[in-house]
Structure 1
Amino acid sequence: MAKQELQALVAEQKILNKIYAIRGQKIMLDEDLAVMYNVETRRLNEQVKRNINRFPKDFMFTLTQKEFDNLKSQNATSSWGGRRKLPNAFTEQGVAMLSSVLNSKTAIEVNIRIIRVFTKLREYALTHKEILLQLAKLEKEVKGNSKDIENIFVVLKELIEKQSNPAPRNKIGFRQDD
């Protein structure tokens, strides 16, 4: 594996580790994005506030205290220190919009990587969904045939019992009378 490919895999894994599921959506936190973009979190949030009309609720939302506490408890090795404000959560569309707000070469490159990871996640989810649908279909078929399968097992058990306890039978062949 080439060094560049390895670096890309490591970068993808780092991004993947920073994607969380909150409110039924895959999101990234402002502070994680700021680290990736090599800017301060407050600068990232300032740019978002200046361009707030680009970030509707389905692009970005602020976590509740309960959501933030839950997220911190899931990540025991968290480096989150004392924040004065709750973090902003960006959906895939919000992350894409950040590249237009943070118009730097680094932001654009990082955004491309992040969007690719989100796309891969969506592809994996679709693959798993197809498998789950096939399993559900198979389960329905098995449930529909369960009575038949049950009857087959009953007959098999009877056959096995008959083989292990054969009934006495009359011998066949020529008998000589005394």
Structure 2
Amino acid sequence: MDNDSELISLDAGEIKRRIFAIRGRQVMMDSDLAEYFGTTTGNLNRAMKRNIKRFPESFCFQLTDDEILRCQIGIPMQKRGIKGGRTYLPYVYTEQGIAMLTSVLHTERAIAASISIMEAFVEMRRFIANNAALFERISKVELKQLEADKKFDRLFEYVNTCAETNQKLFFDGQIYDAFSLLIELIQKAEQEIILIDGYVDVSTLNVLAKKKTGVAVTIYTFPKTKLTAQDVAAFNAHYPQLDVKYTNIFHDRFLILYRKKVYHIGASLKDAGKKCFGITLMKDAGSELMKKLAKT
């Protein structure tokens, strides 16, 4: 390894899947960085230790056994004479630490790789910032649990993919994942969105606000909804046009795009991720549902 001339093309999605959050920071593993920089993990960490004053804990720190288990990081460790693997706990590097590594290693490959990595960090921060209002309802306890126990890869996998989503099952606590897929579906609509959901509130509107400009929204909900006329007016002032209609004929929740593509949603949008539920694309169901809605 350590080949300056062997520059590689890095995939942004792959980089994001190797970034995870721990101790309140987004970091990358030493072994992943070594692969991208074209060196060995040992050489990378030795370069850090030779310049230890440049790497405070906010730039680089060593994981504990407990952190590896909680984050479900697959790391082969050499213990009690077992051949192979690594003999020490891994180091992780923050965005600032990665930039500092580049200045220490002085290779063309490290410089090229660090640019792609920095861009991935920026995109992740931009996504979280743009959706800050949507995540306000998640309690501080839930956020801390998500930061400690989950990687960010599933979040960006759903948002950035262009592949068709046919079916997805979410388990309790997968709040980021659930909202990310719902946002992806909402943003597919070019002209109209129809939501059938008996239990809507302002949180539902936070999701629908991610629609494209000019896309009309119609909600069919129970007469005793928590959504007020003021809520609807406030939404229309910023994201026109929303129309709310009232009916008791539906039990399940449906999201209809283009008046023909129908997604069955096992939970109200406002409760996405709180409990286990699924989202399923229903083939050839659009025309029948539209006929039923026309009679309400």
For 1:90-140, what per-residue CA distance to the aligned partner results, in whole angstroms no more than 9, with x for missing partners? 0111111111011100000000000000000000010110333599xx46x
Displacement after TM superposition at 1:83 (Å):
1.8
3-state SS of paired residue (2:100)? helix
Alignment-derived partner of residue 65 in structure 1: 65
Structure 1 CA distance for aligned equivalents of residues 133 and 38 of structure 2: 38
Q: Which has the higher contact order (CA 8 A, sep 6+)?
A: 1
Structure 2 CA distance for aligned equivalents of residues 133 and 19 of structure 1: 23
Structure 1 CA distance for aligned equivalents of residues 113 and 70 of structure 2: 27
3-state SS of paired residue (1:27)? strand
Displacement after TM superposition at 1:25 (Å):
1.2
Aligned length, in residue pairs: 134
Task: Show structure 2 runs of 5+ residues with no match.
Answer: 1-7, 78-84, 139-201, 204-225, 230-296
Greater strand share, structure number? 2
Displacement after TM superposition at 1:70 (Å):
2.9
Give the share of equivalent positions with the same residue, in percent: 36
Instruction: Give 1:55's aligned amino acid.
Output: F
- Would you say 1:127 and 2:130 are equivalent positions? yes
- Would you say 1:114 and 2:117 are equivalent positions? yes
TM-score (norm 2): 0.41
Alignment-derived partner of residue 83 in structure 1: 86
Alignment-derived partner of residue 35 in structure 1: 35
Structure 2 CA distance for aligned equivalents of residues 69 and 132 of structure 1: 27
Structure 2 CA distance for aligned equivalents of residues 103 and 31 of structure 1: 18
Alignment-derived partner of residue 176 in structure 1: none
3-state SS of paired residue (1:21)? strand
Structure 1 CA distance for aligned equivalents of residues 70 and 111 of structure 2: 31
Task: Show structure 1 runs of 5+ residues with no match.
Answer: 1-6, 140-145, 150-178
For 1:56-86, what per-residue CA distance to the aligned partner results, in whole angstroms no more than 9, with x for missing partners? 0101000011112333xx35xx464522111
Runs of 4+ with deviation above 4 angstroms:
none
Alignment-derived partner of residue 93 in structure 1: 96
TM-score (norm 1): 0.65
CA-based RMSD of the aligned residues comes to 3.0
3-state SS of paired residue (1:20)? strand
3-state SS of paired residue (1:131)? coil
Structure 2 CA distance for aligned equivalents of residues 14 and 91 of structure 1: 17
Displacement after TM superposition at 1:13 (Å):
1.1
3-state SS of paired residue (2:134)? helix
For 1:136-160, what per-residue CA distance to the aligned partner results, in whole angstroms no more than 9, with x for missing partners? xx46xxxxxx6x89xxxxxxxxxxx
Structure 2 CA distance for aligned equivalents of residues 31 and 101 of structure 1: 17
Structure 1 CA distance for aligned equivalents of residues 128 and 96 of structure 2: 18
3-state SS of paired residue (1:129)? coil
